[in-house]
């Protein structure tokens, strides 16, 4: 047997046609398209069509999620009940997806054809923003807002969460965020979803597994902390001394450094553009603070390339667009379930179970027997 590197880092474990990340170049793609350009120019529904069906509209009819966003009354009641005792949106989404799958009779992927798997995936993808928004509003003492099928996926999400139809610029910022973060290589949650799908389990089970992986602080991250950092620093003039104190205390600088990218995170570039399109004090402050932090990090470790990651500009763009900080991490799930679904369908079509081995390093059983 071959021994894999720690964390499977650098190890190729599957073939995929969905996308890839080229970290040294600061580049990633969805199928054959530059993902950053898709985020700038295409809607969630269009990129969903690309990942699920294999081509962009108008080559294929665009998948429209609007009519699929409503949730059953039983699931609405479940979300309302859970909102009374948990602030964890991802746990509520996990419960809601499993409930919908049970109510609507979703079956293991092993027992259904591709078209039914696809239908199950689209239904579950569509309801995630509805569940996230309903949970947030119940937690804050507000009445939930039903989805509006005439709005785009991004605009409807913002409206259900905030109670206001977003301006075109605000909706565009959220749309760019959702498209930019749909997929990003074989990260922990994507791999987890594929492992579960490889067992023949239902689409819902595989998505819930992905959500479980995303809930870990080493993976899903916390863009809200990046926004809090910007607010704490206050201005570019304060950034140098603030970062120096954090580094001396060996504390993490939120929104900087990435496991893959050695050039600027292309997702961050798109979201910085979106924030600057809206403008305002926060966007200007974020630009100046970013410059100072990067300069200090370059002085601190001149032999390393430390870049701004997606969390920094995601926090700024989502905040400027009007989403509360409590929804930053759940918004990642609203986006990423699309990428997971594409991988789940691809893995289900493969039909092989993912079953690696472990290297036993404990006491010898022979020695224990004697």
Q: What is the pLDDT of residue 370?
A: 57
Asked whether 26 and 265 are in contact (CB, 8 A), the reply is yes
For residue 129, give the CATH number of its domain: 1.10.580.10
**What mean pLDDT do residues 106-135 have?**
98
Q: What is the pLDDT of residue 20?
A: 95
Question: Radius of gyration over alpha carbons of the chain, in Å?
Answer: 21
Residues 278 and 205 in one domain: no
What is the domain extent for residue 263? Answer: 223-320
| β-strand partners of 256 | 308
Q: In this predicted model, what pLDDT tens digit does every residue of 48-93 receive, in sequence order? A: 999 999 999 999 999 999 999 999 999 999 999 999 999 999 999 9
Q: What is the pLDDT of residue 367?
A: 66
> How far is Cα of residue 133 from the mean position of the Cα atoms in its chain?
16
Catalytic residues: 258, 311
Residues 212 and 276 in one domain: no
In a domain? residue 341: yes
pTM of structure: 0.93
For residue 249, give the CATH number of its domain: 1.10.230.10
Residues 239 and 201 in one domain: no
Higher pLDDT, 9 or 352: 352
Residues 94 and 156 in one domain: yes
Q: What is the pLDDT of residue 255?
A: 84
Residues 114 and 41 in one domain: yes
Last residue of a domain, one of 300, 320, 340: 320
pLDDT at 36 over 90: yes
Query: How does the average pLDDT of the chain come out, rounded?
Result: 93
Q: In this predicted model, what pLDDT tens digit does every residue of 127-167 receive, in sequence order? A: 999 999 999 999 999 999 999 999 999 999 999 999 999 99
Q: For residues 91 and 96, what is the distance between their CA atoms, to the nearest angstrom?
A: 9
Residues 236 and 333 in one domain: no
Q: Comparing C-alpha atoms, which of 62, 351, 61 is closest to residue 199?
A: 351
Residues 233 and 313 in one domain: yes
pLDDT at 305 over 90: no
The count of domains in the chain is: 2
Give how far Cα 77 sits from Cα of 48, 64, 67, 96, Å.
29, 26, 20, 10
């Amino acid at each position: 047997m071959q021994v894999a590197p720690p964390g499977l880092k650098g190890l190729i474990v599957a073939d995929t046609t969905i996308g890839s990340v080229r970290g040294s170049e600061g580049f990633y793609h969805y199928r054959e398209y530059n993902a950053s350009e898709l985020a700038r120019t295409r809607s969630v529904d269009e990129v969903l069509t690309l990942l699920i069906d294999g081509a962009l509209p108008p080559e294929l009819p665009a998948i429209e999620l609007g009519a699929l966003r409503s949730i059953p009354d039983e699931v609405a009641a479940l979300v309302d009940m859970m909102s009374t005792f948990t602030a964890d949106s991802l746990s509520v989404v996990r419960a809601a997806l499993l409930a919908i799958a049970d109510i609507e009779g979703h079956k293991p992927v092993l027992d259904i054809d591709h078209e039914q798997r696809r239908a199950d995936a689209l239904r579950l993808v569509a309801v995630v923003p509805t569940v996230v928004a309903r949970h947030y509003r119940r937690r804050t003492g507000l009445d939930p807002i039903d989805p509006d099928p005439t709005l785009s996926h991004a605009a409807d999400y913002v409206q259900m969460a905030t109670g206001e139809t977003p301006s075109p610029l605000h909706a565009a910022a959220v749309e760019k965020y959702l498209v930019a973060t749909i997929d990003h290589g074989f990260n922990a949650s994507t791999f987890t979803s594929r492992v579960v799908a490889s067992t023949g389990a239902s689409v819902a089970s595989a998505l819930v597994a992905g959500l479980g992986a995303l809930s870990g602080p080493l993976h899903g991250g916390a863009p809200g902390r990046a926004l809090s950092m910007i607010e704490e620093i206050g201005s570019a003039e304060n950034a140098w001394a603030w970062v120096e104190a954090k580094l001396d205390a060996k504390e993490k600088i939120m929104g900087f450094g990435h496991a893959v990218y050695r050039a600027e995170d292309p997702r961050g570039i798109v979201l910085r553009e979106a924030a600057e399109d809206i403008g305002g004090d926060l966007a200007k402050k974020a630009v100046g603070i970013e410059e100072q932090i990067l300069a200090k990090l370059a002085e601190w470790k001149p032999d390393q390339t430390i870049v701004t990651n997606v969390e920094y500009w995601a926090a700024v763009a989502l905040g400027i667009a009007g989403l509360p900080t409590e929804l930053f991490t759940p918004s990642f799930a609203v986006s990423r379930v699309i990428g997971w679904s594409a991988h789940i369908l691809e893995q289900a079509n493969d039909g092989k179970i993912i079953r690696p081995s472990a290297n036993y390093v404990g006491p010898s059983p022979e020695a224990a027997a004697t």
